[in-house]
Amino acid sequence: MNTAYNFAFFDEGSKREIRRATLKAIAIPGYQVPFASREMPIGRGWGTGGLQLTLSLIGRNDVLKVIDQGSDESVNAVNIKKLVCDTTGVETTEHTEEATLIQSRHRIPEVPLRKGQILVLQVPLPEPLRYYEPSESQTKKLHAEKEYSGAWLMLFEQIMKYGSMTTGADHPVLVNGRYVMAPSPIPRYDNPKMQQNDALILLGAGREKKVYAVPPYTKVVSLDFDDYHFQPESFEGKHCRLCGSTGVFLDELVDEAANKTVYQCNDTSYCLEKLNEVEKVGVN
Amino acid sequence: MAVFEVPVLSIKNLNKQYGPGCSQCKGGESAYLVKNYCQVCGTVYACRDVSFDVFPGEVLGIVGESGSGKSTLMQCLYFDQEVSAGEAYLADYENGMKNLFQESSQQQRYIRNHVMGKVYQNPILGLKMNFSSIGNIAENLIAAGSRDVGMMEGKGTALLNKVNIPVHRRKEAPKNFSGGMQQRVQIAKALSNNPPLLLLDEVTTGLDLSVQASVLDLIKNLQRELNISIVLVSHDLGVIRMLADRTLVMLEGKVIEQGLTDQILEDPQHPYTQQLVHSLL
C-alpha cells in the first residue's frame, strides 16, 4: 500500500462531497445529482465517475471486485483495481458473492446481487433525453416537469425505421414511477435485474459530473409501448462453449478457422466458477 | 343560441413588458415613451392591455406591422414566454374557470399538449428537424399519453395524407422537405390531438405564392371540416381577408381597432389602419 496518498487517494473533504451527492441521489431514485467531479490519474471517459464513487465509499473492510464488460481481467478493470488497492490496501476478489463493492463497466454480474452489496456503474452519458434535446437547461426542465415524450419518441423512431426497438444497450428505464434514467450502457438483458434489486446500485458519470442511484427494492421499468413490448436479448437454444451455461448473457464469437459462430459467457468470473464446479465433480 | 356565446378562448388585459419599467413609464402612458419604448429605463412594452375573445369555429385575425407585438402575443398564449400580467381562460380547460397564466408549468404543458396546437412561422421552432415526419406527429400523441405504436402510425399517416404529404415520404425527416412541405407537416402535427384551438403565427410568410395558396386552402378546409377555432397572425392583409372572420389591428403593443374583417378592410377608422389598407397593392 502506498502511504504517500491519503486513504483511498482523495482527501477527506472530497470524499465527503461525493458521499453527500450520493446520499441525495439515493434519496431521489433516478435523479441526476450534479457533483464536483475530481481530476483523476486516469482520463475522463475511462470510468472516473465510477472510480470516484468507489473511492469515496470504500473502507478498510471492503472486498472489491472490478469488471469491465463482464471481464475481471481487462486492462481497464485491472488498472482501476490496482489504483484502489495501492491507496487503500483492501482485498480484491473475482467472486461476485464475496465482494461488498463491485465497480462495473456495462454489465450487471450474472450472480444475483445480495443485500448489503453496492454495485457502482460507470456512465458515459447520464442524460436519457440528450439526443432528443441538446440543451442541458431544457432537459433539466423536462425532468422537472416529468415530460418524457422525448424518450418514447426515440424508441418510436427506431420502430419506424427498423421495425423494432433497437437499443443495444442503455435502454431507458423509469425509476420509481418518476424519473427516466439512462441505466448506463448495460445490455437490455441486464435491465430487468435492476427491478426490485437487493443491492444498492450507484451510477457515476465523471465527465458529465453527475451521480444517480437505484436504491434497493426500487421499481425499475424499461420503457416500451402497448403493442411493442420491451424484450431483452434472447439466447434461446444457445449455450456457453466453455461451461455450457444457458440463460446467461453470451458473447457471439466467430471462429474463422472453422467458419463457425460460437457463444461464450460474457461474465468471465461466472464462467470460471461454473467450470470449477464441474472439475470438483470430476475429482470425486 | 346560448351555447355559441361561450368563447373558446378569452384573454383579459394581457401585458408583456421587457425590462423592469421605471417611475416615468409605469402604467404605459408617458411623454418619455417613444412608441412602446421607454427612453429612461429602456423597457419595451410589447403587449399593452390586450383583451379579446375567440368563439367556437371562428377565425380571428391579428394584423399589424413588425414590432407591433403580434408574435409576442402568440408566444404568450402558447406559454413560450411568460406574461407580465393578464388572464386567459379556455372553455375546454377546467370549464374556463382557471387563469391559464397562473397554472404550474406542468399544467401549462398539459394545456399545450391537449387543448392547443401551434404552427410557427419558422418550422425549426415547431418541428424536430432530425426526427421523421411521422415521429414529429407521434411526439404530440405520446405527450398526450398514447403508448400505442399502431394507432399513432395510423393517425400520423392519415394526418399527413390530409395535408398532402405523400405516404412514402412519411418516414423522412422534415429537414429534407421544402419550406411548404415543412409547414404542412407542422400543421398536421398541430392538429394531431384534435385541439379545439389552433394558433397560427405567420404560417405563409416566406412561402412562394402557389404554395401559399395551397397552405391557405388547406387551413380553410380543415377549419370547415373540423370546426376548430383559429387565432391567425399575419401582416399580410390578403391572408387575413381570405381566412379571418373577425380582425384585430395591433400597433405598438395595443389593439387599436377591431371588428368584422370586411368592415376593417372596407371602412378603416384608425389612421394606421387606413394607411395599412391603402398600401395594399
Average pLDDT over residues B107-113: 90
pLDDT at B67: 85
> In this structure, are B134 and B273 located in the same domain?
no
- Cβ distance B147 to A152 less than 8 Å, yes or no, reads yes
Among B194, B220, B249, the domain boundary falls at B194
B277 touches chain A (CB under 8 A): no
C-alpha cell at A61: 473492510
Counting other chains too, the contacts that B212-219 makes at CB distance below 8 Å and 24 or more residues apart are: B212/B239, B214/B164, B214/B180, B215/B180, B215/B183, B215/B184, B215/B187, B216/B242, B216/B243, B218/B163, B218/B164, B218/B184, B218/B187, B219/B187, B219/B243
Residue of B109, B138, B149 with shortest CB distance to A227: B149
Backbone angles phi, psi at A258, to 5 degrees: -90, -5
Q: pLDDT digits over B206-264, tens only? A: 777 887 888 888 888 888 888 889 999 988 888 899 899 999 999 988 999 999 999 99
In order of A52, A108, B155, B164, B211, the CA distances from B193 in angstroms are 47, 41, 10, 19, 25
- Closest Cα of chain A to B174: distance in Å? 14
Q: Is residue A123 a contact partner of residue A203, using CB atoms and an 8 Å limit?
A: yes
pLDDT at B27: 63
**Residues of A forming the active site:** 30, 240, 243, 265, 271
- Cβ distance A153 to B134 less than 8 Å, yes or no, reads no
- Torsional class of A128: left (φ above 0), alpha (ψ -120 to 50), beta (otherwise): alpha
Q: Is residue B187 part of a domain?
A: yes
Question: Looking at residue B4, what DSSP letter applies?
Answer: G
pLDDT at A255: 87
Q: Is residue B46 part of a domain?
A: no
Among B138, B171, B194, the domain boundary falls at B194
Cα–Cα distance measured from residue A84 to residue B21, given in angstroms and rounded to the nearest whole number:
59
Q: Is B53 strand, coil or helix?
A: strand
pTM over 0.90: no
Cα–Cα distance measured from residue B49 to residue B13, given in angstroms and rounded to the nearest whole number:
4
> In this structure, are B91 and B203 located in the same domain?
yes
- Cβ distance A160 to B171 less than 8 Å, yes or no, reads yes
C-alpha cell at A71: 471481464
> In this structure, are B160 and B209 located in the same domain?
no
Residues 3-62 of A with CB under 8 A from B: none
- Cβ distance A160 to B147 less than 8 Å, yes or no, reads no
Q: Is residue B214 part of a domain?
A: yes
> In this structure, are B83 and B154 located in the same domain?
no
Q: Is residue B155 part of a domain?
A: yes
- Cβ distance B142 to A149 less than 8 Å, yes or no, reads yes
> In this structure, are B141 and B239 located in the same domain?
no
Buried b or exposed e, range B226-252, using 16+ CB within 10 angstroms:
eebbbbbbbbebebbebbbebbbbbbb
Where does the pLDDT of residue B189 fall: very low under 50, low under 70, confident under 90, or very high at 90 and above?
very high
pLDDT at A281: 63
Residue of A145, A152, A227 with shortest CB distance to B142: A152
Q: Domain span at residue B172?
A: 124-194
Residue of A156, A161, A228 with shortest CB distance to B142: A156
Q: Would you say residue B201 has pLDDT above 70? A: yes
| Minimum CA–CA partner of A145 in chain B | B106
pLDDT at B237: 87
Give the total number of structural domains in chain B.
2
The enclosing H or E element of A172 equals: none
> In this structure, are B201 and B263 located in the same domain?
yes
CB pairs under 8 A between A and B: 49
Q: Is residue A203 a contact partner of residue A121, using CB atoms and an 8 Å limit?
A: yes
Q: Is residue A65 a contact partner of residue A92, using CB atoms and an 8 Å limit?
A: yes
Q: Which of A34, A14, A15 is nearest to A24 (CA)?
A: A34
Among B161, B194, B227, the domain boundary falls at B194
Task: Give B189's contacts in chain A (Cβ within 8 Å).
Answer: none
Q: pLDDT digits over B37-96, tens only? A: 888 888 888 898 999 999 988 999 999 888 888 989 999 999 999 999 999 999 888 888
- The length of chain A is 284
Q: Is residue B35 part of a domain?
A: no
> In this structure, are B208 and B175 located in the same domain?
no
Cα–Cα distance measured from residue B118 to residue B190, given in angstroms and rounded to the nearest whole number:
6
Show the DSSP H helices in chain A as ranges: 12-27, 48-57, 75-88, 136-144, 149-162, 191-194, 268-283
Mean pLDDT by 10 residues, chain A (284 residues): 89 96 97 94 89 96 95 93 94 95 95 96 96 94 93 95 91 96 95 96 96 97 96 92 93 91 94 86 57
B168 touches chain A (CB under 8 A): no
- ipTM value, please give it: 0.85
Q: Is A10 strand, coil or helix?
A: coil
Q: Is residue B45 part of a domain?
A: no
> In this structure, are B135 and B251 located in the same domain?
no
